Structure formats: structure tokens, C-alpha cells
Chains A and B, each alone.
Chain A
Amino acid sequence: MSQVHASPRGEPLLEVRDLRVHFPTPDGVVKAVDGLSFSVRRGETFGIVGESGSGKSVTCLTALGLINRKSALVEGEVFFKGRDLLKLSNEELQKIRGKELAMIFQDPFACLHPMYRVGDQLVEAVQIHDDMSRKAARERVVELLAAVGIPRPRERVRDYPHQYSGGMRQRAMIAMALLHNPDILIADEPTTALDVTVQAQILELIERIKEEFQIGVILITHDLAVIADVAQTVMVMYAGRSMELGARDAVFDKPLHPYTWGLLESIPRVASKGELLVPIEGAPPSLINVPPGCPFHPRCPHRFSPCDDQRPDFKDRGGGHPEACHLSAEDKRRLWSEREARRTKVAV
């Protein structure tokens, strides 16, 4: 898998191997994540894209140990700095979580306690991991709030969350994530709840932090355009599995999987008016009854004999990066260029 990374900088920081997360429910087993492998390096933005229910968030919550293992079956390995996070006890995980591995969530409105001052919440986050006086902790908080672009941080630490705008709350959450100089920042839909102009500010901030602190960023989103703008490596997920994983340019210019093709054709692009939108037929499958073989085959226009009973391996079939589709590399090249031609012809 090492050849897929366009800009390898050192060893992988986080390596996920054959991760499976299954939730037994009265209706059947929900296979939220089913055999997923990827790795993230320092200084890299690793984008995970997929529709709702494709297992993006569960993957990251599992890595952080935030999935209740009493109610879920977790298999596989998540290596972080030489340790398997899945084998650690809760106490050991607590020392890593929020310190070396930090996470920001989609909804900054739900992540801050409405009755405590923003500053106090951040100070508490400092003191959980560091034995530091309240005063020193407050200095650290002010410093970081300034770093993430909160104006007049010394006054604003005394504010309550409702006095912050959505963008500022997300900035405060990012400051909280950075308090302990993490190695990896997991951003789960960090801009979905925000307006485009604020989204641009936050994405730029995450990019700057990544460069400044030389951390690895895992960016989870359903927005292909965001991924295309900021990620170096992209993984496309569907029904708990990876469909395609490669360098950003490779995935967007020469996508190999029919699901990726479908996604790219169903978003209107600002740059080109009048293109035909080609939706993917049907709806994503229930994770209790994932179709046998390739999970995408019932919606795939190019399906053929092995698709409905043989699960395609996740490997490089000669297209340049690993994917999970039975079609040969030549077939993929031909089909994609045909689809591209059809799409642009309508535009003219």
C-alpha cells in the first residue's frame, strides 16, 4: 500500500489493518465497517469520503476507542506509534485520547457545554493531561485561541458558547484539540454545519495548523469538493468498505471505481454549467443486508458475472492505486473515458 501515497513523509503515524466493526442488533448484525485498511502519515491530509452510513465516522470513533466494546464486535488492528489501540485498556486510551489523538466534530453547537465559559472548558481540557496551574493553563488557552484566529482572546475566554458564532465555536474546538500538540487530528465533517465563507476560513486554518505543527489530519466528509481541495490522499467508502484509495489527483482525474464515477457525476460543479447530472440509481444498502459480492453491484451499470457473488479484493489491478472492482484496468479506462465524453457532450 505504500506506493499509493503521493508525498510520503516518514513512517505511517496511524495504520489501520483489516478493521471490522459489527453491531449486533435484534434485527441482525449491522456491519458498519467491514475489512478496512489504510494508513496516515505526518504532514498529510487523509480524506475519507462517502455517503451517510458508509462507516466513515465509526472507523474514527473505533480508532479513538469511543465505541462501546460491550455492544460492538471489533476486530483488526489500529497501530498508532507502534501500539495497537484496540488492545489498550480504557485508562491507557484515556492518556492518548485528546492528547496525541485529537478529534473535532461536526456540530460545534453540541460540543461545548452551554453553561460553562469557553475558557473554563478549555482550561479543564489542559489540566486533564498536564499538571499545570490554572493560571498557566489559562495562558496556554489564550495563546491557542489567538493562534486559531479568535479576536481579542483574553476577553473572549470569559464568554459563554452562545456568545460565539458558529465559525468561532469551531475555532474554539480546534484550539481545544490542539492544546496538547496532538500527532493526529481527526476532523469529522468539520465544516458541514457552516456557511461556505466560514467553511473556507476553517479549512484554511486546518491546513495552516497541519503545516505548522506537522501533524496528520484525517478529514471525514461527504463533500467531494472539499476533499478535492484539501486532501492529499483520498479514500472512497461505501457500505463499510473502501472502494478506492489513492492520491487526490489520481482519484479525481482517473477514478477507477464505478461508485466513484457515480459520485463525481452526481455533483453539479460550479465551474461548468449545463452538465447533465447522472444520479446513481437506487439508494445505499442497509448495513444489515449488505448485498453479497460487491456491495455496490445492485446500483452499478457495469456489473457482470462475478459481481453478485464474489467480493472483489482490495488491490491494485494495474490502474495505479488499489480499488475494489472486478473490472480490468483497460475496461475501467475505456468506460470512464466513455462516461466523461458523454457528460461533456451534453454540456456543449
Chain B
Amino acid sequence: MKNCEYWQQQLSRFLDGDLTSEEEDALWAHIADCPDCAQAFEDFSQQTSVLRAQVVRPPVDLSRLVMARIKNGQTDPASPRAEKPVSHRLRPWRKLAVAACFVALVAAAAVTGLFSRGVPMSGNGESAAYLPSAQSDTVYAAVSGRSADTAEAASAQEDTASDMLEAAAPAEEAALSLPAPEPDAPEAAEDTAADEAAPENDAVTESATMPIAADEAIPAAGETGLTGSADSGIMTVMEPPASTQEDGAPACQVLDGAGQPLGRIEDAAALRALLTGEGWDGGEPEPACTLELDGDDYAFAETEDGGLLWRCGGDGWTLSPAAMADLQALILPA
């Protein structure tokens, strides 16, 4: 009986054409003598056969929808920002309150201050573990204006993104092999006690082992803008050298919670770089300020612990107090 686990795993592999003929022979020999495994064979076979027939056509023409959304926003796949997320109007937040805390902080040296500690890739502990420091360094290089190096660095990152798809990452990229971090602990646990694991834990384990953001986090050299979806709860940002920003126009006007002009932000790249964080489900506190960037409305507020909460399209993200200071530093007086 104890061995049945092994034989049924072999059975599963058989269904996937993964057994050698010797392994197959041994499997049949066992099944002939073991009613439990014979039953498992019947069951696995039936369900697999049914499952493999379960292909459903999408109810709409997906390709047309996708193409319409692409054409609506852009024509160049190398400029991801041009494909804008659906813009939701920001729901009116109740009233201005914390607005004063944003007023007129000087921007001089602010950008340096922001990037000297690296771009805040994420406030989420889990994803932070999979966004290694090397990546932040490259982001830093990319935003700090060293264009020649930057192109190389970004290109290297790009290669890495593709390489991440390969099971075995070369040693020098170990730090960037996002899926790798904890393969032993959770997986071993799962494989020995998977059936006992609570479903929720399974989900958490899976999320933690998925290379989330590995591909989206690393656009090709010269790309700009937000990557990742506003739906993801985690946003990652790559920026080209500031000099490649499309024009020198002020990036956006900043309004206070009452809709009155509060200032402006010139450094759109730094602002976009700020827009990361951990998903927020805590409702809609009063905005301290609002702004429009790349066609989307953003609202910012202060969290209870002095951190930065930003919202866009009905979703919210939170960042540390340091990010709050960074945002304040970005806002130039009106």
C-alpha cells in the first residue's frame, strides 16, 4: 500500500507520456496485482480524457478586442506607456484634510534624494524578495542619466528576462533568477504534505514561487513608463535616462484635495518611479492632492503611519513614509 503513492505518480507520468517502456512494464505489473492502483488508473484515465476535451472558445473575438485596445493607444510595441490602462475617473474623496502637509516643499536636490536610495520597487515584502537589489541598481543607473551604460544595463536586464524562462539560470544571474528564492522550503513542504496544506496556504506558496513581475519588470532598453497592471497591486517601474523623456513640458499639475492648484511636478520619470507599492484595500481616505499623469487620475493621501497612499482607477497602493517625503519633494510650488 505504501508504494501505491509511487505507482500512482508513475501512472500520472504515464498519462503524460513520460515513462520509459521499462517503467511502463513495471507499472502494468504492479497494477495487475493492486486493485487500488487499478482503480486509480481508471479514475485518472477517465478524468484526464475528459479534461483534455475541455477546451472552450472565448465568447468574444479576443484578438479584435486586444487589437482595438492597442490601436486605441499606440502603434509601437516598444513604447509600452502609450497603451494606456482604462482610465477610471477618480471617485470624489470626501474632503481635503491633509492637504497642508503637501504645501510647497522645495524640490531642489529632491530628485537626487529620491534616487540615492534606489527606486522603491515595491513596498510589498513578498515581491521585494523577488526584485533583487541588482535590478534596483539598474533602475537607478537607468534613471540617473548615464545613457550609454544604461542602454547596456537595460539590455542585459532584457536578456535576463528571457533567460529567466529557462529552467537553469547561469550562476552569475542567480541573483536574478526570480523563481528560485525558496524552492526548497515551500516546495519540499508541499510535496510531502501537499494534501494537508490548507488551500489558502497553497495559494500563498504558489504566489510566492511564481516569477511575478519578472517579465513585466524588465522592458526593453529605451522603454519608458509603467509596467505591470494597475490590477496587480504591485507596480514596477523602469525608466530611461531623463533626457529621453518625450518633451520638456511640465509633467503635470498638482491639485490639492479641494481641486485648487498646489504645484507642479516636472520630473514625470521620478513620479512614475514612485508609483509602486503594496496593494491597499483600506478604503478611500481623503486625498491630500491629486494629479493627472499619462491620462490617468491619481490621488495621494497619507496613511496612518505617515506612509504614502496613492490611488488610481479605483485601486490603491501604499508606500513607506520615505516615499511620502519623496513625493513632497517632487512637487514644485505653483
A-B interaction: no
* Interface residues, chain A, with chain B CB atoms under 8 Å away: none
* Interface residues, chain B, with chain A CB atoms under 8 Å away: none
